[in-house]
Amino acid sequence: VIIDEIMNLVHIDKKISRAKIFLKEDETIILSKNKVCEINLSVYSANLVVHARAQNFRSAAKEAITELKRLIEHQGYRTKKAA
């Protein structure tokens, strides 16, 4: 699911050259939000890094991807789709 969402971003913006996804458990905080998803995306020679915490990895990934999409659109990285 996470890889599919990242691939969708790559199809939208051809300037994305690399994506790193990290899933980890943070044992220093309460168990209800100890699953962490961090995504590092290389776009136009810049790195966008987002992370999210949730009760499970799927939810954390969904939150991180939503934030990543928002950053791409907000910072003007998004290019037009090919016709």
Three-state secondary structure string covering 9-39: HHHHCCCEEEEEEEEEECCCCCHHHCEEEEE
| Partners of 47 in beta bridges | 42
Higher pLDDT, 9 or 38: 38
C-alpha dihedral sign at 47, 48, 54, 58: negative
Higher pLDDT, 80 or 73: 73
| Long-range interactions of 29-32: CB distance < 8 A, separation 24+ | 29/53
51-73 pLDDT, tens digit each:
999 999 999 999 999 998 888 77
8-27 pLDDT, tens digit each:
777 666 677 788 999 999 88
**pTM recorded for the entire structure:** 0.76
**pLDDT recorded at residue 80:** 42
